[in-house]
Amino acid sequence: MTLLILGLILWSLAHFYKRLMPAHRAKLGDKGKGPIAIALIIALLLMIFGYRWAEFIPVWSPPAFFTHINNLLMLIALFVFGMSATTGRLRGKMRHPQLVAVKIWAIAHLMVNGDLASIILFGGMLVWAVASVILINRSEEWVRPEAGDAKKDKLLVIITVVSFVVITVIHALLGVSPFGG
């Protein structure tokens, strides 16, 4: 669990650095991107291995039907995440689509994972996403981008479904069945 918690802390600090110490970050310029990227990669590795190696400590038993809700929420999370990159009509409908997607992802995973390591990982990422939205909203004005072509939204739907299938296959290869069982 220690690696998992250290990973969450490093992930949060690396992301919050720009917001909490903007003058210091600005002094680093483009040279500061490398160390932050390295810190984020290390954080991801700590979280992945910390989660995989954590002892399974059951806290609660999710009902089986939550699996279906989780899968629906994951489709929504992928779609919302993709809204950050779309140039379609949906561009600009939401200020923080990636962070909203992380919140949906975290809640979906909290619904179907009742062990302590899952609660720490997904709960920690949920707290990070909420705090990130608050920090960003306090630190910068948002200029809503203009809506684009509706055809790009159709492409987003296709990319969402393909991404869901790929993620499902990866989960299955890791020994985790996204459909229960």
Domain extents in the chain: 1-54, 57-181
The secondary structure element, H or E, covering residue 114 is none
For residue 32, name the pLDDT band (cuts at 50, 70, 90): confident
Task: Give the model's pLDDT for residue 100.
Answer: 97
Give me the helix-helix angle, 2-20 and 116-139, nearest 10°: 0
pTM score: 0.91
Among 25-29, 38-42, 117-121, the range scoring the smallest mean pLDDT is 25-29
**What is the structure's pLDDT at 181?**
62
Listed in sequence order, the residues at least 6 apart from 91 whose beta carbon sits closer than 8 Å to its beta carbon are 83, 145, 146, 147, 148, 152
**Is the per-residue pLDDT at 44 higher than 80?**
yes
pLDDT for position 81 = 95
Q: For residue 136, what pLDDT is reported?
A: 92
pLDDT tens string 78-100 = 999 999 888 888 878 889 999 99
pLDDT of 174: 86
DSSP state of 115: B
The C-alpha atoms of residue 108 and residue 122 are separated, in whole angstroms, by 9
Digit-coded pLDDT (tens) for 6-23: 999 999 999 999 888 888
What are 116-170's pLDDT values in tens digits? Answer: 999 999 999 999 999 999 999 998 888 888 888 888 889 999 999 999 999 999 9
